[in-house]
Chain A
Amino acid sequence: MPDLNKRRQLTETVRAICAWLVALLLFFPIFWMVLTSFKTELGAFSMPPSFLFTPTLENYREILERNNYLHFALNSLLTSGGATLLGMLVSVPAAYAFAFHPGERTQGTLMWMLSTKMLPGVGVLVPIYLLARFTGLLDTRFLLIIVFALVNLPIMVWMIYTYFRDIPRDILEAARMDGATTAQEIYRVLLPVSRGGLASTALLALILNWNEAFWSLNLTTTQAAPLSALVASFSSPEGLFWARLSAISTLACAPILVLGWGSQKQLVRGLTFGAVK
């Protein structure tokens, strides 16, 4: 019996070591990016790569001074924030209708919404681009806000619907008996009890909008370009400054990474529409 225990302990240890190794391996590119951001440009290129070096904040200073980082960061913040807000304003009422007033066509409508998410961006890129050019909205934050909101609307409706579905209907019916209007029903009763679900929906939308690159790259040049587009500009040969690229990348990813860590549990529920618990 003690022998068996010993063997069990050994497998547990091996297992823990393997888990740590896999995790460190998968995380390594991010670690390496952050590390490189504190090197000099020369140090970033050096072979063999330096693991021990005197860290410098030069790259960060340079980005803030020369690369107009704040302009792009502001664009990211305004477009992803604005799109999230717009998305919430439209998807909360829709989810309310689907969850509490389902009709014969509700399931079909929900499925149709999800299918529009499968509509590939490239399939509609040309007309959207031409419409934007025609209306003079090309390279404006306004356009990105509308597009981001529409692209993620199906997922937002689904997520909120998933949360609403679990709320007992009696609560709303009681409010209605007391003479509450639909708007009062939503704002006085529904929103307070589903605050957590709404927050994680908004969070997920924010993450998706912040990282979005396809529409940002194709619909903006400089005025409205968010961070994802700024980073992409480093792919050109003249943009090859690894240390600075790493610093910009670190600044662009850090807020979302922290948000993601804090909300991983809710993300599962949201991203799988509650189908995985």
Chain B
Amino acid sequence: MREAAEPSSRAGRLTAAPAILMLFAWMIVPLVMTLYFSTQYYNLLYPGRTKFVGLENFTYFFTYPSFLTSIVNTLLLVGSVLVITVVFGVLISVLVDAKFPGQGIVRMLLISPFFIMPTVSALVWKNLLMNPVSGLFAWVFQLVGLTPINWFSDWPLLSIILIVAWEWLPFAILIFVTSLQSMDQEQKEAAQMDGATPVAIFRHLTLPHLARPIAVVVMVESIFLLNVFAEIFTTTGGGPGDATTNLPFLIFTQALLEFDVGAASAGGLVAVVLANLVAVFLLRLIGKSLTHA
């Protein structure tokens, strides 16, 4: 049997090799370069004056006034969008789960924002909806006698959170609706017969059933939300001040606006460490259920 298994596992190694090698290079080459640059004084404006500076870039980056703000902004953005999308995602999915006229169209409308380009959704929200003078929200506020909100100056981070949540809520709905379809209907009917209230059914049957999909949504969204960039780039440019600067955006400004490769590399490593902390935590949480599905 051993001999028989030998050629097949060789075939396995050979066919998997390109993907593994490519991904490995994609990961390790830039990472090693980042590691190297992070110990160098390296500004693209003065390419000749490169020199080893030890951990100076890290101390510079860590003591940079915007650094702490950017970490807090990153976590606030990821956290609030996760909460909004999971809570409203569950509620809306339960709402559209039962049969009603036009259910198919309703679901299509609900998931649509997920397919809109981030740059497009950011600009549409900024200019057509949230503009304080001629945006639609301003008009609605005036209609009911309120002063229009100057979204991006007065509530910059909240504005970004709303846009990103709008993009990701459909994803949560998509997953939860699919999961609800596989729920045990007999169990639900039996509970109803026994006089269980809808709230009790929701708490004791629906929520436990949604536990795994919720974990999946949290994991997939975290991957993407830690890297939110286009929405900030096209709306606030990180401002006003550093009010909407998250870690990706801070590193972007260091690297491509101030050309400080050393500091940007140090920041990049911080981002990698942060992402890995989240990744390890999440993979521990649900990794098993993914591979043993």
Contacts and interface: CB of A to CB of B under 8 A. Distances in A.
Contacts of B124: 29-30, 32-33, 246, 249
A235 B220 contact: no
Nearest to A227: B117
A91 to B, nearest CB: 6
A276 B210 CA distance: 10
B101 interface: yes
Interface string A95-129: 01110111100010111011111111111111111
Contact of B230 (A18, A19, A232, A256): A232
A58 to B, nearest CB: 18
A130 B264 CA distance: 12
A93 B16 contact: yes
Contacts of B1: none
Interface in A8-38: 12, 15-16, 18-20, 22-24, 26-27, 29-30, 32-33, 36
Interface residues on A, range: 35 or more
B278 A118 contact: yes
B95 A19 contact: yes
A275 B212 contact: yes
B114 A122 contact: no
Contact of B264 (A44, A126, A182, A242): A126
B12 interface: yes
B31 interface: yes
A261 interface: yes
Q: Interface size bucket, B side?
A: 35 or more
B230 A153 contact: no
A44 B268 CA distance: 41
Contacts of A265: 178
Contact of B287 (A96, A111, A213): A111
Contacts of B111: 260-261, 264
A162 B292 CA distance: 11
Given A101-B12, A118-B226, A122-B271, A129 B129 contact: no
A211 B121 CA distance: 11
Contact of A214 (B27, B107, B229): B229
What DSSP secondary structure best describes chain A's contact surface? helix
A275 B233 CA distance: 34
Contact of B115 (A47, A90, A126, A257): A257
Interface stretch (B60-68, B153-161, B169-177, B200-208): B169-177
A244 B128 CA distance: 12
Given A111-B287, A256-B115, A126 B261 contact: yes
B119 interface: yes
B110 interface: yes
Contacts of B110: 22-23, 26-27
Interface in B251-284: 251-252, 255-256, 261, 264-265, 267-269, 271-272, 274-276, 278-279, 283
B45 interface: no
B134 A257 contact: no
Residue with the greatest number of chain B CB neighbours at <10 A, chosen from A47, A90, A125? A125
B178 A154 contact: no
Contact of B30 (A33, A124, A162): A124
Contacts of B125: 29
A220 to B, nearest CB: 13
A153 B293 contact: no
Nearest to A229: B119
27 contacts: A16-B102, A19-B100, A29-B125, A29-B129, A29-B166, A96-B12, A101-B12, A109-B16, A120-B272, A123-B31, A123-B272, A124-B31, A124-B268, A125-B252, A182-B14, A186-B15, A213-B118, A228-B118, A231-B117, A232-B234, A246-B124, A256-B116, A257-B112, A260-B114, A265-B178, A276-B178, A276-B213
Interface of B: 8-9, 11-16, 18-20, 22-23, 26-27, 29-31, 33-34, 37, 92, 95-96, 98, 100-103, 105-129, 133-134, 136, 138-139, 166, 169-171, 174-175, 178-179, 182, 212-213, 216, 220, 223, 226-227, 229-230, 233-235, 247-248, 251-252, 255-256, 261, 264-265, 267-269, 271-272, 274-276, 278-279, 283, 286-287, 289-291, 293
